[in-house]
Chain A
């Protein structure tokens, strides 16, 4: 192993590789509930060439290698299950190109959502990207790799749907471009009209290669962004309300929140609608469409729009939302995790009932913030529980509740989002055998020595 350490030092310089206990401790865990496992080395490359050299070294020495962004997935996806090298991509943080007319940006793998947001606001204020509600240090690549969602997901799909090209270091060390950038200097499409090979890397959690560059589509940043808040106390109405709102095609983002405290939330479902426009007339028109869509519930008294005062708006309009961080400390001790199945919106009432049932069973505080995806084709429902990190019993209860939630979500037709290694097994057990065989073949073809983020998407 000392040979590997020295070889890594030669590649990136001694300041950017470590086998010290402190680094190994931190890189051996994430903020969620999965058990830690320490790496042997942590390395921070600066260039694609360095990544290639590191991967070639790992391949040669059969050392596991785990590419890592900010490590915020909460489900242990960058915990090095079999040790080896954690490849921390944060130093590769350049914004390489913004193509204003074609509407895309090309970034290095360590570029964060927060940095890109600031960059666009400063240099291209008429353009924006889909910001997830994770902390701003979340990297664009890692978020795409886990099929993250963001503020444009209701209209544009998963953030990974907005990818417009990839540069990947394959597990054998070759560099490969995916999409239009493989035949042209433009990064406008990750697939069409070519065979879409992005699926070999997106959703694989770094188990098929290391993404070093990514193209991401940019969208119009309207001058005005406003929020409306619709409440209903009937869970069965939630899917209907979402469908009606999505049908208007006027709403940029729809998030449904349910939680028992603070007390103003109790007994109701908070449906946040985000409206954007370049003029007051556009905003008013869109708001009117939303009102018209839901007026029948106002008349029946089953739902209503709450007046959103100027004081209420800033937290609602913040991108990313800070509510997640606040929620994380409800139990004090700063712990929270969620299981987030992607499911048809009709499943909302069923999942909500299960969320409450598990919270009661395991004496946990709960919340759910569900985001509508792609015009209502599906939604991300979060089973979120908080725990105190100084309370092992509460952590155990939270983990058990999340495991049961994941099992339930699958049974009811959902697919677990960013599943941990155990949940991946649950998914693969239910998967069509030929699909699983195909996945296994692809994985083996790309990573014959099984060095890439081992433990993930590995069929038993």
Chain B
């Protein structure tokens, strides 16, 4: 079983304990207190961190040494049987993502798109951006990156399934995998290496792919000239080096990423995981703060990277007059195309009424 490469000497030398001090959901402004508490986590002792963690992944980004504090928290939670979410929900996730031999593989070439196990992505892939690659794609539990189990203190499931998933992808003969979600990308560039799991193909974040395609199609771009709020998602914390592509793409699209409070390292998670784990009060509060912040800075669009964030916040941002849109669709709009992901009003009954009342 793969083991986490965690270097406790790095933590011993660390004076900032940013992993806890910068946490937006736990109060560790006192560095000494943070240091002591973190030491407990390292030692495998009981710690309030293990109970209070909202599994936002942010400490992965905050750690200046790349020492994977969040992965250690997840390991410790599992060792101690601490459930960061209700047990039946964890069971549901473990069961529904179990490989059962029902997957979809297109005409795979050396470069291929990974839909992971997110069917929502299918609505987004289309148009000029993907015209030469849409056929080379794969989808299903067999290719599911399993990163979601970080929310559920189930590193054991990841360690069990991930090597097989990587093997399944490698067997397709693919050399470069364009990951349509940064859970996948972060899985191959952060999680797998942290556990010494070899990745025999080159992962490419879809932001990099979009940027390269937009450069090729630059003459066709009609600048959107709008302000947008960017909703940074939890798994973006596993690959912060990608964030510059958001600015690069927005630059090509003529879009202003508003300098709001809850973006970049200070981004707030979509809060649906928090709702599930800790109830609606905290989640509602976080979502309100996040959306108020978007409104305050005059965003016309809320740009999503993650379909789950979209599902969580789309209905709510519409109610304050902001148009929710996935990054791919924003690019397609700038190319004069229809967006692929329609506002799914059918599944948003409250929104249907809100629209009718208008």
Interface string of B89-103 (1 = CB under 8 A from A): 101100110101000
Of A279, A306, A311, which contacts B276 at CB under 8 A?
A306
Residue of A nearest to B93 (CB): A264
Q: How would you classify the secondary structure of chain B's contact residues: helix, strand, loop or mixed? A: helix
A295 to B278, CA, bound (A): 9
Question: Which residues from A are CB-within-8-Å of B87?
Answer: 233, 301-302, 304
**If the complex has contacts A262-B96, A263-B95, A263-B98, are A306 and B89 also in contact, measured as CB distance less than 8 A?**
yes
A307 touches B95 (CB 8 A): no
Question: Which residues from A are CB-within-8-Å of B119?
Answer: 311
Question: Which residues from A are CB-within-8-Å of B352?
Answer: 224
B95 touches A267 (CB 8 A): yes
What is the interface size of chain B, counting residues whose CB is below 8 A from a CB of the partner? Answer: 35
Question: Which residues from B are CB-within-8-Å of A305?
Answer: 275-276
Quick check: is A86 within 8 A (CB to CB) of the other chain? no
B95 touches A266 (CB 8 A): yes
**If the complex has contacts A225-B349, A301-B87, A304-B85, are A310 and B95 also in contact, measured as CB distance less than 8 A?**
no
B346 touches A313 (CB 8 A): yes
Interface string of A221-249 (1 = CB under 8 A from B): 00111100001110000000000000000
Shortest distance between the CB of A68 and any CB in chain B (Å): 35
A224 touches B347 (CB 8 A): no
A217 to B86, CA, bound (A): 41
Question: Which residues from B are CB-within-8-Å of A295?
Answer: 279
B280 touches A232 (CB 8 A): no
Residues in A322-336 with C-beta less than 8 Å from chain B: none
A307 to B350, CA, bound (A): 15
A55 to B45, CA, bound (A): 82
A314 touches B92 (CB 8 A): no
Interface size classification for chain A:
35 or more
A267 to B86, CA, bound (A): 13
A280 touches B354 (CB 8 A): yes
A223 to B354, CA, bound (A): 10
Q: How would you classify the secondary structure of chain A's contact residues: helix, strand, loop or mixed? A: mixed
Question: Which residues from A are CB-within-8-Å of B95?
Answer: 263-267
Interface string of B312-353 (1 = CB under 8 A from A): 101100000000000000000000000000001011111011
Question: Which residues from A are CB-within-8-Å of B225?
Answer: none
Interface string of A168-187 (1 = CB under 8 A from B): 00000000000000000000
Of B88, B276, B311, which contacts A268 at CB under 8 A?
B88
A35 to B111, CA, bound (A): 59
A224 to B275, CA, bound (A): 22
A224 touches B349 (CB 8 A): yes
Of A223, A231, A232, A307, which contacts B312 at CB under 8 A?
A307
Of A265, A309, A314, which contacts B311 at CB under 8 A?
A309
**If the complex has contacts A231-B86, A267-B91, are A304 and B276 also in contact, measured as CB distance less than 8 A?**
yes
A280 touches B350 (CB 8 A): yes
Quick check: is B120 within 8 A (CB to CB) of the other chain? yes
A118 to B348, CA, bound (A): 21
A233 touches B349 (CB 8 A): no
Interface string of A285-304 (1 = CB under 8 A from B): 00110010001011001111
Question: Which residues from B are CB-within-8-Å of A280?
Answer: 350, 353-354
Quick check: is A350 within 8 A (CB to CB) of the other chain? no
B347 touches A303 (CB 8 A): no
Question: Which residues from B are CB-within-8-Å of A267?
Answer: 88, 91, 95
**If the complex has contacts A302-B86, A304-B85, A306-B89, are A224 and B276 also in contact, measured as CB distance less than 8 A?**
no
| Interface residues, chain B, with chain A CB atoms under 8 Å away | 83, 85-89, 91-92, 95-96, 98, 100, 119-120, 272, 275-280, 308, 311-312, 314-315, 344, 346-350, 352-354
Question: What are the nearest 9 A-B pairs in CB distance?
Answer: A304-B86, A310-B347, A264-B96, A313-B347, A231-B88, A310-B344, A309-B311, A263-B95, A233-B88
